[in-house]
Each structure stands twice: as structure tokens, then as C-alpha cells.
Amino acid sequence: MSRKYFGTDGVRGTANQYPMTADMALKLGAAVGRYFRNDGDNQHRVVIGKDTRLSGYMFESALTAGLTSTGMNVLLLGPIPTPAVGMLTKSMRADLGVMISASHNPAIDNGIKFFGPDGFKLSDEAELEIESMVLEGVEPVQPQNIGRAKRVDDGRFRYIERVKNSLPKGLPFKGLKVVVDCANGAAHKAAPEALWELGAEVISIGVNPNGLNINENCGSTHTQTAAEAVVAHGADVGISLDGDADRVMVIDEKGNVADGDQLMALLACRWAEAGKLSGGALVATVMSNLGLERHLESKGLHLERTAVGDRYVVERMRKGGFNLGGEQSGHIVMTDYATTGDGLMAGLQFLAAMVESGKTASELSKTFETVPQLLKNVRYGAGQLPLDESSVKSVIADAEGRLTGKGRLLIRKSGTEPLIRVMAECEDETLLTEVVDGIVAEVAAVAG
């Protein structure tokens, strides 16, 4: 059975358009509340965090109404990073955690992510069951059993302490000049505060959210802003987060950007040398560069690949007993410290590597040589299925034949946006461009 509302990272879409409406949020709140409060006890609680989108107020209120209607007590955390919600769900003994965010998407979008009582994102099976409850409807509790809601003010500070405690004790960041780009998002207070408390000289950008400027020309999907700031201020390093701070890109002192693959390679090798890498493997998705796989093999390490989505990475990590994984896009998951991708925590690990090794950011951020990779996206309309068209299938088959023995091709629908993602890797860059552009052109023609 396919999922109707949930994508690779919760429910997501344009705010005030199906399925991201207040009515749907109310129904989702009631369904997930009933899913976790099934014994009639009134001690159940849920924590709700959000990023800085204007629509967050609407969804926060709707979810609260749905959850309290099933007897859940709601603790409202306000703007806070996604990994903080995962952490606080478990540490505050909540039955459920909810994050209202569309991550790296523009401000007009929003999304809802759920965490179980262990702080990890819900399984496909749980999401399917919640969807069926949304469709069937949920019986509200008796008036005397309606839940309560209240604001919680110390969530951010609890999270900052947890992030700081992921570092070796007594590691000084004094003398490091760090640019941190918070994407006008959920970490606009937590990230600068954590870095300053650790002793760094902090230059903060993307810390003036107005509800409409999250991820706008800033953050991990627009690293030029942070790169320019690093060079202009003569900073040692830049940390560029996305809207909900579960992703990070690192910028060296010259303004060059290191993606999640490079950061994972650095951490995997350092952890392996220190005897800290569980299972001798790194878990990453099919999108990670072939160069990463080759580099790990040269070090006697293994790359475990999963479907795209950080929760699939986490599922594989938990099943195999691995403690490091992530995505090329900058989700870095360290299950010794967190239950989901944590951009700030990963950025601090990079700073720790700089301090411990005495090397510059540019010396550490280029761990391996990448195989030429090209990724292009094609937007399609509602109800369209461009990958099912015979002409598109024919072009893809031809491309696969041309790449046989020379590279690899990956084509998939985005789980968070109406996009077809076309990615290929090949040492022959001319062939690489021809293959990707050919597929993109045909998909675009079909999609109109």
C-alpha cells in the first residue's frame, strides 16, 4: 500500500494548499494522538517544535487542537531545530514529537514530521496506519479528558547543552573565527549561542527571520552568502545550516564549499583511527559520490547505501549497529549523540577536527577526489507521471546503455517536492552532460 500523505520526510507541501492545510493538520494531530494515546490515560504528552515560517503559527494551533482532542498534553517549544525535537521527545518522556518545518524549501511551503517516544522518526508502517486513521476519522475523548497545552521556555537551552556535550571535554574553540549562517530559520538563536559559549568568535548571518525569508538567498542551499562572509571577515571556517538545522555545508577559509560527502569521509576516517566507528562502515544514500565509496575502501572501510532520506539512513544504522551516516545534501547522523541529522552538531565536529589536528578548514574539507557528478531537477504538474511515459523510458534506457561500464545513473521522484531528480556520475564529463541533459529535456517536454 502506497502512502497518500507522507513523503520521505513527513507531510510537506505549499501552505494552505492540500495537503498542507489547517484542516489536514487538525486531522493528522487527532490521528497521531490516538495512535500514541490508546490506553485512556491522561498522562500522555507531546512536544511540538517549529521553524520560523509564517504558516508555522497556523499549523501549531491546528495540531494542538487535534492532539488535545484525543487527550494528549501538548508542550510547545517554539522555534527550535529539528534534531532538538528528537532529543527532547525522549528526554522529556514524551510519547510523541512533532516538528513543523519544510526544511530547505522556500517559505511558502511547510511540513510536519513525527518522532516516536525513542526520539527517532516514525517507520513507514506507522505512517501508513496514521494515514488510515486520518481517512477513517478519530473519535474525540470525553470533555473531562481533553488535553492541556502550555509553552516550554527552556527547550533551546537543553538542546545547546546536549550539542556542546557531544564534543571532547575541554576542547577550546578560542581563537577560531566562525561564520554561521542560520538560514533565517530554526537555529537562528541556538547556533550562535552554542558557538559563542564554546569560545569562538562568531559572525552570525541569516539570524533575522520575518516569517517569509527562511532559506532565502542564505543557508545550506545557497552557500554563496556564507562563503562571501567568510572571505570578507577573514574567518577560519563557515557553517551553513538549512531552515530547520538538520543539514550543514562547511565553507573553508578560501570560500570553498564542502558537502555532506566530504564531511562524512573526514569523520569516518577520524573515528576509525580513534576506534570509534562502529562496524567499520559509513551509511549513506544512493546519491553519495562514487569517490566517497572508493576513498573509504582505500582505508579498509565500507560504504552502506540506502534509499534517499535521512530516516532510511537511520533505519539502516540502527539495524546494522552503525553510528555514523548521512547524505550528500548535508544530513549528518551521529547516533551516539542524536536521533536524526544535526547540522550544528556536525559543524562542531568539523571545528573539533580543526582544533585537534591543527589543520586549516581547506586542508580538512577536501578528503577525497570526487567522480564528476551532475544533478538536475525537472518540475512537473499535479497528477502528472512523466517517468511512466514511453518516450521518457526510452531515453533513460538509451542513457543506461551509454553509461554501462563507465558510470551510473539515478533517476527518482523527490519525496518532498514535485520534482524529478536526474543524477549521473561518469569520468567522461562530455558523456555525463549529454546523458543528463537528454533525459531532462525529454522529461521537461512531457511535463510541459
Q: Rounded mean pLDDT of 219-231? A: 97
Non-local (6+) Cβ contacts of 398 within 8 A are 438
Last residue of a domain, one of 336, 370, 404: 370
- How would DSSP label each residue in 317-345? HHHHT--EEE-TTS-EEETTT-SS--HHH
Last residue of a domain, one of 320, 346, 370: 370
- pLDDT value of position 207: 98
Strand partners, 138: none
Higher pLDDT, 74 or 124: 74
- pLDDT value of position 39: 73
Query: Do both 361 and 380 map to the same domain?
Result: no
Query: Rounded to an integer, what distance in angstroms lies between the CA atom of residue 396 and that of residue 393?
Result: 5
Q: Rounded mean pLDDT of 26-55? A: 92
Pick left, alpha or beta for residue 295 (phi over 0 → left; psi -120 to 50 → alpha; otherwise beta): alpha
113, 92 Cβ separation under 8 angstroms: no
217, 225 Cβ separation under 8 angstroms: yes
Query: Do both 290 and 333 map to the same domain?
Result: yes
CATH number for position 399: 3.30.310.50
pLDDT greater than 60 at residue 1? no
For residue range 318-330, what is the model confidence (pLDDT) as tens digits?
999 999 999 999 9
Query: Do both 215 and 364 map to the same domain?
Result: yes
Q: Which of helix, strand or coil describes residue 228?
A: helix
Question: What count of residues does the chain have?
Answer: 448
Query: Rounded to an integer, what distance in angstroms lies between the CA atom of residue 186 and that of residue 189?
Result: 8
Q: Which of the four pLDDT bands, split at 50, 70 and 90, describes residue 230?
A: very high
Query: Rounded to an integer, what distance in angstroms lies between the CA atom of residue 403 and that of residue 398?
Result: 9
Paired sense of beta strands 201-205 and 177-181, if any: parallel
Q: Which three cell numbers stand for residue 178?
A: 566562525
Please give the order of strands across the beta sheet that includes 45-50: 11-14, 109-115, 96-100, 45-50, 73-79, 149-151
50, 60 Cβ separation under 8 angstroms: yes
Q: Other CB atoms closer than 10 Å to residue 229's CB: what's the count?
A: 22
Is 233 inside a domain boundary? yes
Query: Do both 343 and 414 map to the same domain?
Result: no
Query: Do both 217 and 131 map to the same domain?
Result: no
Which percentage of the chain shows pLDDT scores above 90?
90
- Rounded to whole angstroms, what are the CA distances from 162 to 156, 165, 202, 345? 10, 5, 20, 9
- pLDDT value of position 40: 66
Query: Do both 304 and 428 map to the same domain?
Result: no
Is 65 inside a domain boundary? yes
- Burial of 428 from C-beta contacts in 10 A (0-12 / 13-18 / 19+): middle
* Residue 53, domain extent: 11-153
Q: Other CB atoms closer than 10 Å to residue 400's CB: what's the count?
A: 14
- pLDDT value of position 160: 98
For residue range 127-165, what is the model confidence (pLDDT) as tens digits?
999 999 999 999 999 999 999 999 999 999 999 999 999
219, 253 Cβ separation under 8 angstroms: no
Q: Rounded mean pLDDT of 413-441? A: 92
CATH number for position 212: 3.40.120.10
Query: Do both 145 and 194 map to the same domain?
Result: no
- Residue from 55, 69, 101, 103 carrying the catalytic annotation: 103
Is 407 inside a domain boundary? yes
Q: Which of the four pLDDT bands, split at 50, 70 and 90, describes residue 2?
A: low
* Residue from 361, 178, 104, 167 nearest 258 by CA: 361
Query: Rounded to an integer, what distance in angstroms lies between the CA atom of residue 340 and that of residue 39?
Result: 28
Is 212 inside a domain boundary? yes
Is 357 inside a domain boundary? yes
pLDDT greater than 80 at residue 276? yes
Query: Do both 325 and 197 map to the same domain?
Result: yes
Q: What mean pLDDT, rounded, does the chain reach?
A: 95
Is 213 inside a domain boundary? yes
Which percentage of the chain shows pLDDT scores above 70?
99
Query: Do both 365 and 382 map to the same domain?
Result: no
292, 303 Cβ separation under 8 angstroms: yes
Is 2 inside a domain boundary? no
Query: Do both 308 and 233 map to the same domain?
Result: yes
For residue range 384-420, what is the model confidence (pLDDT) as tens digits?
889 999 999 999 999 999 999 898 999 988 877 789 9
Query: Do both 289 and 190 map to the same domain?
Result: yes
Domain total of the chain:
3
Query: Do both 359 and 380 map to the same domain?
Result: no
Q: Other CB atoms closer than 10 Å to residue 409's CB: what's the count?
A: 19
- Residue 103 is a catalytic residue: yes
Query: Rounded to an integer, what distance in angstroms lies between the CA atom of residue 364 and that of residue 359?
Result: 7
Query: Rounded to an integer, what distance in angstroms lies between the CA atom of residue 213 and that of residue 183?
Result: 8
Paired sense of beta strands 302-306 and 281-285, if any: parallel
Last residue of a domain, one of 330, 352, 370: 370
Q: Which three cell numbers stand for residue 158?
A: 537543553
Q: Is this prediction's pTM over 0.85?
A: yes
Is 166 inside a domain boundary? no
For residue range 336-384, what is the model confidence (pLDDT) as tens digits?
999 999 999 999 999 999 999 999 999 999 999 999 999 999 999 888 8
